[in-house]
Amino acid sequence: MSDLNHDVAQILIGADELQSRISELGQQITRDYAGKEPLLVGVLKGAVMFMVDLSRQIDLAVEIDFMAVSSYGSSTQSLGVVRILKDLDRAIDGRDVLVVEDIVDTGLTLRYIVDNLRDRCPASIRICALLQKQKARATSPTIDYLGFEIPDQFVVGYGLDYAERYRNLPYVGVLRPEVYQTSQVEK
Ligand code: 5GP
């Protein structure tokens, strides 16, 4: 991990801060869904860490499912063109669905996912996102449960990657500019 840590210029949200906010979100969700059995829908791969930790903080009988989507664009910027690579395993009609997303940048990926799931007649659909960029507020669907608002910077760690690396960092941080330059030269 020391090589990975070395590539990080700044830690935006430390591991303890992440866990304590996730615990608060879990308690809030537990209260709001009392008497229900929500279906948590995680968006692969970035939301995996968040989904695992969040689900353990929800004191209800939850079910878990995953979707994988591809957003087209450069490695650090989404274009909002989305394709489903892996769909849910089961139908969601009549279920209380909580979409669990890692980060909302433009919000276009999330909008596509929510519209797509809404067509399948769930009883309710809400969104829980760990991170939202400040600029997302204008274009994104409403986030019902938000971990942190962050500046408009490309971040890695706690599930989020750059070129598939850094997902296993326990915190959210910003990479040194040289990391991008080096990987472009390598390509
Ligand atoms: P949006 O459609 O909201 O612009 O982008 C959403 C997706 O783009 C996220 O689910 C994530 O996969 C990716 N993304 C957006 N911003 C970042 C970022 O700062 N870091 C990383 N690693 N991925 C991001």
| Closest residue by CA, ligand 1 atom 17 | 154
Q: Quick one: pLDDT at residue 43?
A: 94
DSSP assignment of 12-32, as one string?
EE-HHHHHHHHHHHHHHHHHH
Count of domains for the chain: 1
DSSP assignment of 155-169, as one string?
-BBTTB-BTTBSTT-
Q: Is residue 68 part of a domain?
A: yes
Choice from 105, 137, 148 to test ligand 1 binding pocket (greatest atom count within 8 A of CB): 105
Helices 48-56/15-32 angle, 10° precision: 60
Q: Can you tell me which atom of ligand 1 is nearest the CA of 136?
A: 3
Q: Are 149 and 129 in contact (CB under 8 A)?
A: no
- Between the CA of 103 and the centroid of ligand 1 the distance, in Å, is 6
**What is the domain-level CATH number for residue 127?**
3.40.50.2020
Q: Is residue 41 part of a domain?
A: yes
Q: Quick one: pLDDT at residue 33?
A: 98
Planar angle of CA 79, 82, 86, nearest 5 degrees? 145
Q: Tens of pLDDT along the chain (187 residues)?
A: 668 899 999 999 999 999 999 999 999 999 999 999 999 999 999 999 999 999 999 999 999 999 999 876 555 556 667 889 999 999 999 999 999 999 999 898 899 999 999 999 999 999 999 999 988 667 788 999 999 999 999 999 999 999 999 999 999 999 999 998 776 554 4
Nearest to 136 by CA among 120, 124, 151: 151
Q: Are 126 and 144 in contact (CB under 8 A)?
A: yes
- Between the CA of 133 and the centroid of ligand 1 the distance, in Å, is 9
Q: Are 92 and 66 in contact (CB under 8 A)?
A: no
What's the CA gap between 107 and 61, in Å, rounded? Answer: 29
Q: Is residue 88 part of a domain?
A: yes
Residues near ligand 1 (Cβ within 6 A) = 46, 71, 78, 80, 102-110, 154-156, 160-162
Tell me which residue range forms the domain holding 69: 15-150
pLDDT 10s digits, 76-109:
556 667 889 999 999 999 999 999 999 999 898 8
Q: Is residue 29 part of a domain?
A: yes
Dihedral sign for Cα atoms in the order 124, 43, 88, 83: positive
- Name 150's Cβ contacts closer than 8 Å, sequence gap at least 6: 12, 13, 131, 132, 133, 134, 172
Using DSSP, state whether 50 is helix, strand or coil. helix
- Between the CA of 76 and the centroid of ligand 1 the distance, in Å, is 7
Q: Is residue 156 part of a domain?
A: no
Q: Rounded to an integer, what is the distance from CA 160 to the centroid of its chain? A: 8
Q: Is residue 27 part of a domain?
A: yes
Q: Is residue 72 part of a domain?
A: yes
Catalytic residues: 105
